[in-house]
Amino acid sequence: MSTVADERNARAPWVLSAPALMLFVGVLLIPLAMTVMLSFHDWGQYKGIEPVFILKNWKEIATDPYYAEMFWRTFRIAILTTLLTAALGAPEAYILNRMDGRWKSIFLLVILGPLLISVVARTLGWALLFGGNNGLVNKLLMSAGVIRSPIPFMFTETGMVVALAHVMMPFMVLSVWAALQRLDPQIENAAMSLGAGPITIIRRIIMPQIMPGVLSGAIIVFSLSASAFATPAIIGGRRLKVAATLAYDEFLNTLNWPLGAAVATLLLVALVLIVVGSNALIERRYVEVFR
Amino acid sequence: MAFLELEGVAKQFGAQTVVEDFSLSVGKGEFISFLGPSGCGKTTTLQMIAGFLDPTRGAIRLEDKDLTAIHPAKRGLGIVFQSYALFPHMTAAENVAFGLEMRKVSRADRAERVRAALAMVGLAGYEDRHPRRMSGGQQQRVALARALVIKPSVLLLDEPLSNLDAKLREEMQIELRQIQRTIGTTTILVTHDQNEAMSLSDRIVVMSQGKIEQIGTPQQTYEKPASAFVSQFLGKTNDFAGTIDRIATPARLVAGSWSAPAPAGLSGPVTVSIRPERIGFGDAGLGAKIVTRIFQGNHWLFQCESECGSAIVIRQNDGQPQPTEGAAVHLNWRPEDMSVRARTVA
């Protein structure tokens, strides 16, 4: 009797998690494995996809500087976006945390607001403001005589970084804010009573304690920026491609699915390595603050 | 001469008065406690001395210098917070060294003073520990070392022992007192624990609702409470309704069947306050019946129903037989042990 019950108990977790597990395997693991396999297949203009095992696509990515440029651009944009969100988001969260109750909730809503709007609508908003001669801001500044030609924004890396930073800001602010919540409310007073000035307090006391929050926010922002599609597609278009838009184009325009799959796989592997690596580094470095 | 002086200090938050007309002069090396229930303004007063809050009115002077004009970072006071507020990303030694670093003490000198401060609080050998790897008592000691290492003119303690368990708290009380005696730093302790205030301080400032109720030595505040609040807050007390009869000659104070020669001054309805350990059982006095009798090792605790309402009596366990539950007794006490206040009749 008891062995039957034990067996049933041992099986129960598996049975209960089976639906989720099947969904996970069905819609994530299998397509992922198929994508990886696809990246080793052959493709020709007239013969289509040939299910053979070759390294042609990988060789092409490794040797053609075009792909290196794409990936470096993706990496550069993601890093700059991360730095920008950290530089603006961390002080923003600190100021937010020091506000009075009512203002705090209003400004929190303002910060979270972008999350409530579709990323396409938000990015198109930037395009409306800065898009060439007809962009609202460009028009105003030009008619006021401040600038002669429109501010270059569309199809530039700067434009992409600014638009992405806008989209990603809430993730950084929330992450830093969570770290600030863990601070002892008297910690600044303690440092002050020992003779520390405001800058020393921020540099020596606050910064080291919110650093884990900044870094985990940075990991989120970096991985989302590096794999972002909508914003680079609208701001960068065809002229300024990143890894995600490159894979999209290979799939849907050139119809070279195997090459697109290779690009997507490389992006995924690179992101996983960077994220896991930096996470391990952070946890080791800030072991005392995390306790 | 006063070392630290507060004169008519008041603090208002909007329309709410948190501290009202607080005047106190603290001598050099004195250990003062601000004692009161939560919300009585004791922590607010401490924060005004520390400089984290500005007083709405009044003056705070340290050695005749206006303290409110000095930035909190320059006041040179040592503060131990209730939550300790240690820097979690620094080791114990780095925490203690922080104040010295801010004072630009040389590295070698710093190391020596940090070592001495940690040794003084009994934490030699814990230099490289991080606060979150230490027990509550150890963190408390680091906080104390951090506050003392800068040789503060005044040490401010904001409920420093309230997060410790009872046994550790008692140990730390004794240690705190010894350290304070040894280095002679003027100390102000904020607490809601009357035992802590009585066992540590030279003088107690009893506060209630933003006002000072009484300033006195622990004995004075306990034996001669200035108000009903003080007598209730500092230990257990019995309040009996009595009357002073000025018509009788000589005038007499009467409470039930207990009576004594009337004290000077008062007349009419009064409240007689008497500590439970000062009441004895006798042949004459306030009639009472013992409701419950509790044995507590070194003493007995009796709850009685007397002519003037319920009463608590504490008797030393001196080996003598004690009255049993249900026994009719008479309560009496020496007139000099009681305090008498005018009573307003509702």
Q: What is the pLDDT of residue A3?
A: 63
Q: What is the pLDDT of residue A286?
A: 80
* Nearby residues of A45 by Cβ (< 8 Å), 6 or more positions away: none
Tens of pLDDT, residue by residue over B18-29, are 999 999 999 999
State the nearest Cα–Cα gap between B345 and chain A, in angstroms.
46
Top pLDDT among B72 and B336 is at B72
State the nearest Cα–Cα gap between B148 and chain A, in angstroms.
10
Q: Cβ contact (<8 Å) for B74 and A208? A: no
Q: What is the pLDDT of residue B254?
A: 85
State the nearest Cα–Cα gap between B130 and chain A, in angstroms.
7
Strands B154-158 and B78-80, by their bridges, are parallel
The band of A8, judged by pLDDT with boundaries at 50, 70 and 90, is confident
Q: What is the pLDDT of residue B232?
A: 84
Query: Does residue A2 have a pLDDT over 80?
Result: no
Alpha-carbon distances of B31 from A126, A194, B22, B162, rounded to whole Å: 65, 21, 18, 18
CA angle B159-B165-B166, nearest 5°? 90
Q: What is the pLDDT of residue B256?
A: 84
Tens of pLDDT, residue by residue over B111-131, are 999 999 999 999 999 999 999
Q: What is the pLDDT of residue B156?
A: 96
Tens of pLDDT, residue by residue over A76-117, are 999 999 999 999 999 999 999 989 889 988 998 888 887 888
Give the residue on B whose Cα is nearest the Cα of A287.
B89
Q: Cβ contact (<8 Å) for A195 and B99? A: yes
| Contacts with B50 from chain A: Cβ below 8 Å | 189, 193
Q: Cβ contact (<8 Å) for A186 and B146? A: no
Q: Cβ contact (<8 Å) for A195 and B102? A: yes
The band of B67, judged by pLDDT with boundaries at 50, 70 and 90, is very high
Tens of pLDDT, residue by residue over A125-177, are 888 888 877 788 888 888 888 888 888 888 889 999 999 999 899 999 999 99
State the nearest Cα–Cα gap between A14 and chain B, in angstroms.
38
Tens of pLDDT, residue by residue over B239-273, are 888 888 888 778 888 888 888 888 877 778 888 88
Alpha-carbon distances of A5 from A15, A18, A163, B13, B230, rounded to whole Å: 15, 20, 58, 65, 66
| Contacts with B74 from chain A: Cβ below 8 Å | 195
Q: What is the pLDDT of residue A39?
A: 92
Reduced 3-state DSSP string for chain B: CCCEEEEEEEEEECCEEEEEEEEEEECCCCEEEEECCCCCCHHHHHHHHHCCCCCCEEEEEECCEEHHHCCHHHCCCEEECCCCCCCCCCCHHHHHHHHHHHCCCCHHHHHHHHHHHHHHCCCCCCCCCCHHHCCHHHHHHHHHHHHHCCCCCEEEEECCCCCCCHHHHHHHHHHHHHHHHHHCCEEEEEECCHHHHHHHCCEEEEEECCEEEEEECHHHHHHCCCCHHHHHHCCCCEEEEEEEECCCCCCEEEECCEEEECCCCCCEEEEEEECHHHCEEECCCEEEEEEEEEECCCEEEEEEEECCEEEEEEEECCCCCCCCCCCEEEEECCHHHCEEEECCCC
| Contacts with A205 from chain B: Cβ below 8 Å | 87
Alpha-carbon distances of B162 from A139, A153, B172, B191, rounded to whole Å: 65, 59, 11, 8
Amino acid at B310: S
Q: What is the pLDDT of residue A100?
A: 86
- Percent of chain A at pLDDT > 70 equals 97
Query: Does residue A5 have a pLDDT over 80?
Result: no
Top pLDDT among A37 and A48 is at A37
Asked if B127 and B142 count as a contact pair (C-beta separation under 8 A), the reply is no
Q: What is the pLDDT of residue A291?
A: 57
For residue B303, which phi and psi values (nearest 5 degrees)? -105, 125
Interface of B to A at Cβ within 8 Å reads 50-52, 72-79, 81-89, 98-99, 102-103, 130, 132-133, 146-147, 150
Tens of pLDDT, residue by residue over A163-212, are 999 989 999 999 999 999 999 999 999 999 999 999 999 999 999 999 98
Query: Does residue A4 have a pLDDT over 70?
Result: no
For residue B113, which phi and psi values (nearest 5 degrees)? -70, -35
